[in-house]
Structure 1
Amino acid sequence: MPSIFSEVSPVELGLPGVHVRTITALRWIAVAGQSLTLGVVAAYFDDRIPWLPVGLALLASVLMNLALTFGYRSSAHMTGPQAALQFAFDLSQLSALLFLTGGVANPFSVLILVPVTISATLLSLRSTIGLSVLAACSLVVLWRWSLPLPWNGAQPLPEIYRFGVWIALVLAMLFLAAYAWLVTAQARRRQKALVATQTALAREQKLAALGSLAAAAAHELGGPLGTITLIAKDLRDQLGNDPDFGADLSLLNEEATRCRNILVTIAQRAEADEVFQHLPLETILREVIRPFEARGAVVRLSRAGPQGVQPVWTERRPELLHGLSNFVANAVRHSTAAVEIDIRESRDSVWLSISDDGAGFSADLLPRLGEPDLGPHLSEAGGTGLGIFIAVTLLERTGARLRFSNRDQGGACVEVSWRRSQVDVGKSGGSSPRKTQVRA
């Protein structure tokens, strides 16, 4: 995942952009405020304002707004260069007004920070940097060559003071833009990661619901298939020796029987999943590691606890299965020989550790594991950290607390712990499965 200081596309970051109606509304407000301020200055201070160029600057904003109003639908959405050009126009128009009315000595020069700050929250880093450079150049011009303040008997402000105002405005602009960018970029990435988490959880829930659908389908198809099986059997008994149709009828009967057996198996698996919703934690872990063992991975599972402490029985939740599976997959991918999974239980708590014998976590990543954005440090390993974030988020929904560390003998270790009261549903959850029947 790229660093938040690197250039990334608006699509990648999920940049919101801005609606045309928002731009036009803000610009009308700006035009009204600028006109009111100029009117007050002219009425109560002095009529030294150069009205022709000031009027042209105001007219430029009005014409731009009219062009947007009639050239775009109000619901149109601007991102990237189009929105950046709009903010650049506003920045240039405001700079022109400030140039005509005192430059950095004008108290309203602080408004030059607004377009850059808005860009940092809505547009890409490249656009924000471009607007910041434009604003800094405008402030240099306003500091060195602007017209004097339009008030009666005004004395020029000292050069050192105007230089201080310029420095203050530039620093404030850089600080606000950087702060807004960092906060909003992190929020965008976290939102994207949460969407990925919800997608993963929804996929697990759909797979669980698919079992119920399979059981219902097997039940409904059992009747027609049973009728087909009986008819095929009667036809085979009557015409089984027929040289033209005997072989076909035997094959038809065999395939009908095979279909019936498949439906029985599907129904049994689906209903078993419904029945076995409460299982020992060790059994759930064996279900998690079974696919990895089938691919040749060596995963060792052990359980320890004081005498008299019953094994923890917990709900077979999609969050638990998917979260643990992510950590086991990560350990298998980085291990060189075997993955160790240890369960420790007490009367009050349960701990689970997943360890591998690989290179371990990078020292600079350890404090940040579980965040959606781990920067460029994971690029060498070919990961982004999103899988760890998803696993952490899903397991925390079950009440788990997680800790990442490196083992003294080498390799990474993920520790997951719960209070027993959060996950233990008691042994009563392990009832025997119902016998599944498909109608014949």
Structure 2
Amino acid sequence: MPESNVGIWRGQERSSWIRLRTLILLRWVAIAGQVGAITAAQQMYHLQIELLLCYLAIGISVAVNVSAMFLFPENKRLSEFENFLMVLYDLLQLAFLLYLTGGLNNPFALLLLAPVTISANVLGLRAALIVGGTAILLVTLLAQFNLPLRTAEGFILRVPDIFIFGNWAAIIIAAVFMGAYSFRINSEMQTMSEALSATHMALSREQKLTDLGGVVAAAAHELGTPLATIKLTSSELIEELEDQPELREDAELIREQADRCRDILRDMGRAGKDDLHLRQAPLSAVLREAAEPHMQRGKTIHFSAEPGEGADPQQPAILRLPEVIHGLRNLIQNAVDFAEANVWVEMTWTDDEIRVRIIDDGHGFPTQVIGRIGDPFVRRRSGQPEAHDTQDNTDRPGYEGMGLGLFIAKTLLERSGATLSFFNGLDPYKTVPIRPDQSGAIVQLVWPRSKIDAQQGEFALPLGANRPIKA
């Protein structure tokens, strides 16, 4: 396809490309319906129709279908522009048949809505608007210009003008409504699909990092003793002479420990290790781990932990779930990005729930989007100038430009059982006391303790020694 034709569609393409064979099959169904309708009108009701022109229009569709079947492979998928041309052709062909058969006096005029709905579902906004506008123009023309339907006796079949106007208005309204509805629903479904795909990728990445950390910790744990022994015996050998037979035993010990190191590394590569102590950590340790990548970004992160009224003063140990760590990390990143100088991470707990609040001293969430925070691709964070959102923030790793950070965080944390609330420190309707300097955005997370506590509840981890590695 020439570059000039493709250029106008760049940036508008949608991910759901349609197979050519699918449109060919649908067109065969349309052709069969058109032939059946014309045959019934002539044979059963003896209407006078321009059969030559009607069959010419249908024959062109047959020729297009047959040519496409032979010229393109079965798995051919149409681009945005090719889909647009196919739908536009079907619209024009149907409009021409309606022109030959009474225009809006023909009850089949409602079929003009089909190409509009298809374009809204499979094409980008620009292409859908062109198809919808063309359909509205054709309906308007068909209301005034058409070849009338005549009976065998020569009488013209037509409905009163008021019904013609009603049909015209109904088709226009239906085209606008169905097109807008289909486009909007399909766009939201695609947006959510892309956002969930990004969330899955983020969770997979965090899972790999967590597994890697466990392997490294297990390696350090298992190899500590043999490596220390090797170091000790090596030091002794350095002090002794090589020809002294009493060192033979030390040399054998070195070889034995080296073999042990080799076996451990081999077994770790095969089976890994399920270290119970690596799957849980104190609440503050998990939050510090989540905040660690953002500790040196020029903002001060303050941590505080205190029990709720009547709660055990000992800090709870929670599950080190990848979704929890990654979700908290995204929320802390967002707070650091927009804070003036300080971010507060506050932890409280009771016997029934664990609560975390992440607060910054920035401008807060804009009131016009605070109700939609957590939806994918909601990008504006503060009421600062537009340049604040489009500058090249090299200190914002992750999903800059996609608007997925809060969506991913919300999705992952809700998956772990958390309930998230977003509000501002200056909100007069806030239900929690906030210090005057904590005037920015606030994210509050509340977990039922049974969902995340590693020592009690339905997901509590079993206690005991680590299971040995088995090759």
Q: Deviations over 1:278-309 (max 9, x none)?
A: 22212211222233224443111112222442
What SS does the corresponding residue of 1:61 show, helix, strand or coil?
A: helix
State yes or no: 1:396 paired with 2:400. Answer: no
Which residue does 2:389 correspond to in 1? 381
Which residue does 1:3 correspond to in 2? none
Greater Cα shift, 69-78 or 222-231: 222-231
Distance 2:325 2:140 in 1: 60
Q: Deviations over 1:216-266 (max 9, x none)?
A: 777699989998998999699779xxxxxxxxxxxxxxxxx9xx9xx99xx
Q: Deviations over 1:404-439 (max 9, x none)?
A: 0000242000000011121123278697997x9xxx
Q: Mapping of 1:37-436 within 5 angstroms?
A: 37-152=37-152, 153-214=155-216, 275-304=277-306, 305-309=308-312, 310-374=314-378, 380-382=388-390, 384-408=402-426, 409=436, 410-426=439-455
Greater Cα shift, 104-113 or 339-348: 339-348
What SS does the corresponding residue of 1:276 show, helix, strand or coil?
A: helix
Q: Percent identity?
A: 33
What SS does the corresponding residue of 1:329 show, helix, strand or coil?
A: helix
State yes or no: 1:25 paired with 2:16. Answer: no
What is the one-letter code of the residue matched to 2:412? L
TM-score normalised by length of structure 2: 0.77
Distance 1:174 1:390, change over 3 A: same
Structure 2 unaligned regions, length at least 5 = 1-8, 243-257, 391-400, 427-435
Distance 1:374 1:8 in 2: 23
Does the 8 A contact of 1:275 with 1:432 survive in 2? no
Distance 1:178 1:22 in 2: 23
Does the 8 A contact of 1:336 with 1:358 survive in 2? yes
Which residue does 1:246 correspond to in 2? none
Does the 8 A contact of 1:212 with 1:274 survive in 2? no
Q: Deviations over 1:345-399 (max 9, x none)?
A: 1221221110000000000110000001327788652454310000000000110
Distance 2:350 2:356 in 1: 12
- Count of paired positions: 405
Q: Deviations over 1:202-223 (max 9, x none)?
A: 0011112223554677769998
Q: Deviations over 1:119-146 (max 9, x none)?
A: 1111111111111121112112211110
Task: Give 1:62 deviation, angstroms.
Answer: 0.2
Distance 1:209 1:374, change over 3 A: same
Does the 8 A contact of 1:351 with 1:417 survive in 2? yes
CA RMSD across the alignment: 3.5
Distance 2:287 2:462 in 1: 16
Distance 1:222 1:135 in 2: 79
Distance 1:283 1:71, change over 3 A: same
Higher RCO (C-alpha 8 Å, min separation 6) = 1
Structure 1 unaligned regions, length at least 5 = 1-6, 240-256
Greater Cα shift, 425-434 or 176-185: 425-434
What is the one-letter code of the residue matched to 2:279? Q
What SS does the corresponding residue of 1:404 show, helix, strand or coil?
A: strand
Does the 8 A contact of 1:101 with 1:150 survive in 2? no
What is the one-letter code of the residue matched to 1:78? L
Q: Deviations over 1:313-345 (max 9, x none)?
A: 211010000000100111111111211111121
More helix by share: 1
Which residue does 2:5 correspond to in 1? none
Distance 2:404 2:131 in 1: 32
Does the 8 A contact of 1:300 with 1:338 survive in 2? yes
Does the 8 A contact of 1:277 with 1:315 survive in 2? yes
Does the 8 A contact of 1:370 with 1:385 survive in 2? no
What is the one-letter code of the residue matched to 2:345? I
Does the 8 A contact of 2:366 with 2:380 survive in 1? no
Does the 8 A contact of 1:103 with 1:146 survive in 2? yes
Does the 8 A contact of 1:31 with 1:58 survive in 2? yes
Distance 2:411 2:142 in 1: 51
What is the one-letter code of the residue matched to 1:387? G
Greater Cα shift, 298-307 or 413-422: 298-307
Task: Give 1:157 deviation, angstroms.
Answer: 2.5
What SS does the corresponding residue of 1:24 show, helix, strand or coil?
A: helix
Distance 1:414 1:15, change over 3 A: same
What is the one-letter code of the residue matched to 1:311? Q
Distance 1:340 1:114 in 2: 55
What SS does the corresponding residue of 2:295 show, helix, strand or coil?
A: helix
Distance 1:335 1:221, change over 3 A: closer
Greater Cα shift, 155-164 or 54-63: 155-164
What is the one-letter code of the residue matched to 2:370? L
Distance 1:150 1:76, change over 3 A: farther
